[in-house]
Every structure is written in C-alpha cells, then in structure tokens.
Amino acid sequence: MSEKKLSEVEGLVHPELAGVEVVEESGGDFSRSDVLLKGALAAGAVYGTFMVAPYVRGAFAAAGTSDVDILNFALTLEYLESSFYEEAKKKAKPSGELKALVDLLASDEKQHVEALAGTIKKLGGKPVSEPKFNFEYNGTAEFLKLAETFENTGVSAYNGAGPAIKSKEVLGAAGSIVQVEARHAAAIALQNGQEPSPSTFDAPLDEKQVLKAVEPFIA
Amino acid sequence: MPKLDAVSRRKFIAVGGGTSLAAFLAACGGGGDTTTMVTNTGQESEPAESGKGSETEQFGKGDIGILNYALTLEYLEAAFYKDVVKSGLFKGEELAVLKKFGAEEQQHVEALSGTVKKLGGKPAPMPKAEFPLKSAKSVAELAGTVENLGAAAYLGQAGNIKSPEVLAAALSIHSVEARHAATLNTLLKLSITPDGAFGKPADVATVLKSVEPFIVG
C-alpha cells in the first residue's frame, strides 16, 4: 500500500505532526512499534491528541498484545521524544528558562528509554531498534508547539495502552512514566502561553474507527 | 483522505472537552468495548471484590472503594480551590489558573460520584474541610503539595483497579492531576518533576495522613 502524505491532508488539527518522519535505518521493515507510532502521530495530526488513546487501544485490541509489545511501543515513542529533545538543545535555540527545561526533558526521556529497554529485557523480550526521526521546525515557537503536541500524544498513548497491560508492575512503570509526560506537557504549555491542563480528563471519550481512517498514512 | 468533516471534528473536539466520565463509562459499558483485559462479560463494569484486604476497603469494596477514595480526595481538592479563589489572595493569570483547576476538580468529583453510583455503590460523603489561607505563598505551596499528592495517590491505586474502564478513567484523571502539580510547581519555581523522571506512587495511609489535618468534624 502506498503511503499517503499527511501533509497533503487539509484541515489537520495538528499539522506540525505531519512534518515528523520516522525512518527505519536498520534496513529492515518498520517494526510493529514503528507502525503504531506512525498511526498514533497520524491520529493526533488528523483528529487531535485526545484521539491517540482510542487509536492505541483499538490497535492493540485488534491484533492482540503482550506487555512486551506495549512496552516496545512506549519505547519507540520515548525514542522519538528523546531524539527530539537532544536535537532541540541546538536546533530550538533555547535560552534562559527554556534551556533548562529542554535539558530536563532530554534527560527524563533518555531515562525513560533506558528504563523501558531494561524492563523489556527483564521480561525476556527484545527492545525494538531506534528509528531515525526527522523533525521539521524552525526556531523556538515552532519547537514549543511540536513539543507540546508530542507530550500530549505521549500522555494519550500511555493512557490508551494502560488498560491493556496485564502485569501490575508494568502498569506501575507505565503510570510512573505517563505522570512525568503529563508534567512535561504542562510545563511546555506554560512556556508556550497555553493552557497547562486543557481538558478535565486526559481521556478518549469515544472509541471510533480511527484505525481505518489512519491506515492510509502508515506503511 | 477526504477533507475532515467539519461537523464530526467539532463533535470530537466537543466530546474531548467536557463530557462527564459517567457518560464515558456508559458508552463503554453499552457495547463493543475492545480492550483486551476484559475477563468477564466485558459489558457492564461490575463492582469487583478484591481477594485480599485492600487499602481502600474503608471506602467500599473493590473498584468502588478505590473510586470513593479518589472521590474523597477530589472533594478536598475542589473545596480547597473554592476557598482559595474566595480568599482574594490571588489575581490575574494566577487566579485564572486556580479557578480552572478548581473547576476541573469539581468535574472529577461529579464524574467519580456518578461512576460509583453507576457501579451500584454509594458515593463517599463530602468531608468537611478547612484550609489555612495565610498568604498567597503558603496557599500556593499547599496547592502544590495537594496536587502532587493527588497524582501519587492515583498512581498508587492504578494496579489495584479491576475494571479496564475504571482504570482508563483513573489514568485520565491521574495525568490531569500531574499537569496541575507541574503547573503549581512552576508557579512556585520548584522542579516540575520533584520525584525525577519517574512519578512515585503513594499508599493510602500516607495520603490520608497528609490530608487529615484539613478535615474537620
């Protein structure tokens, strides 16, 4: 199936997500986690980040899943954030308070990557390889917009995946990470002059056929 | 992909903004919920009996107990913000933030209360509370403490929840409390992540001990 371009779609809620490229460099095909990530980004771009949760939930429900699968999806999301913030240290030209924040964000996401990869190994699974990402933005304002959207996407994705997690310990780990993603989201929103808590519930309220709608945008 | 239908987008956005959680659970319980963790009928969320003595038993059995525990905390938060807004200690942007958070806590109260009823339980009563409102700084500090504690409380209970729908609801509130916490931490020029890269859960005893001083009669 030919991959359709998100950037060609009109009326995107988050056009900034359309500029994100996920490239599997290992020469292999996209992993399931890569596909889920691309789907989550597409769902967020087209419908808004609160729709990422039903997308994730539906995607996992449709194909069945193990805790390792869920953790690998989370890992891929964290790879994205970690890569984004590392690059942003220069690319976003942050100064003052924002510079300190970017350093913190980069450090947190790196720790999330390490923790998730470690947990996957502990469970006898294999952590997925890190894709290469291309992020399109210029300057601080665009960086902040994209950062806010990523963090909101992450919160929504974790909250969507949470109920599918079988182990209490893994759920606890995911919960401890999503809490920090939500904190990140609020902090970035404040830097951006936006509402730190835009919605009373970081939740999906309808489970729609997001999967089907998103399919044209993923490999 | 055709241009996104303006009406359906508005509907998504409206739905995302403010529909009560009780309505959400009604929608899920009604049909075709596709979460994979369902072990029983997967239709209605049933009040689950917990096999062991649970920390939240004083609030009710199983998920109802957990929801009532959360409800008690949300009552306190809502009352706190109400007092704070009335106190006149804040103005401008800061006041607006505190008002918004208070409104969200009130919506959490209503949603949790409605969910307990839907599960066939009796919602916990609203505790009578008094909060020290000496200065803007001390109040902001208290707000920060309460919100960080609230997030930790939800995280502490996530693993005990039996129903996937109730868990989804709890997670959706948990991350909002985290946003509140980070905002207050920012206002206070404290770290947005006081526990570092991973949030820490708090157990019931710790949480109740922390809020006990504010409950009167």
pLDDT in tens, A120-169: 999 999 999 999 999 999 999 999 999 999 999 999 999 999 999 999 99
Structure tokens at A165: 């997690």
Which residue in A40, A26, A8, A24 sits closest to A218, CA to CA?
A40
The reply to whether residue A9 touches residue B1, judged by beta carbons under 8 angstroms, is: yes
- pTM for the model stands at 0.85
Taking 80 as the threshold, does the pLDDT of residue A201 lie above it? yes
Percentage with pLDDT > 70 across chain A? 90
* pLDDT score recorded for residue A3: 61
Report pLDDT digits (tens) over A26-48.
667 788 999 999 999 999 999 99
Nearest C-alpha of chain B: how many angstroms from A131?
Answer: 23
Check A186 against B174: CB less than 8 A apart.
no
Nearest residue to B99 (alpha-carbon basis) of B109, B111, B87:
B87
pLDDT digit string, tens, across residues B129-162: 999 999 999 999 999 999 999 999 999 999 999 9
How far away is chain A from the Cα of B206, in angstroms, using its nearest Cα?
A: 18
pLDDT band at A62 (very low <50, low <70, confident <90, very high): confident
Which residues on A lie below 8 Å from B172 (Cβ)?
Answer: 159, 201-203
Query: Which tokens belong to B154?
Result: 């939800």
Q: How far is A213 from chain B (nearest CA, A)?
A: 8
For residue A180, the chain B residues in CB contact (below 8 A) are 178, 193, 197-199
Contacts of B101 in chain A (CB under 8 A): 197
Give percent of chain A with pLDDT exceeding 90.
74
Beta bridge partners of residue B129, listed in sequence order = B215
Tell me if B1 and A46 make a contact (CB, 8 A cut-off).
yes
Q: Which residue of A has its CA nearest to B24?
A: A205
Of A135, A141, A137, the closest CA to residue A194 belongs to A141
Angle between helices A67-91 and A139-161 (to 10 degrees): 170
Q: What is the mean pLDDT of residues A95-120?
A: 97
Hey, which residues does A133 pair with through a beta bridge? Answer: A22
List, for chain B, all residue ranges whose pLDDT scores fall below the cut of 50: 1-51
**What is the predicted pLDDT for the residue at B31?**
33
Beta strands, E only, A103-168: 132-134
Q: How far apart are the first and last CA of chain B?
A: 60
User: For chain A, what is the mean pLDDT?
Assistant: 90
Question: In this complex, which of B9, B17, B201 lies closest to A172 when CB atoms are compared?
Answer: B201
ipTM of this predicted complex?
A: 0.92
pLDDT of residue B53: 63
How many angstroms separate the CA atoms of B167 and A159, rounded?
Answer: 9
Q: Are B163 and B63 in contact (CB under 8 A)?
A: yes
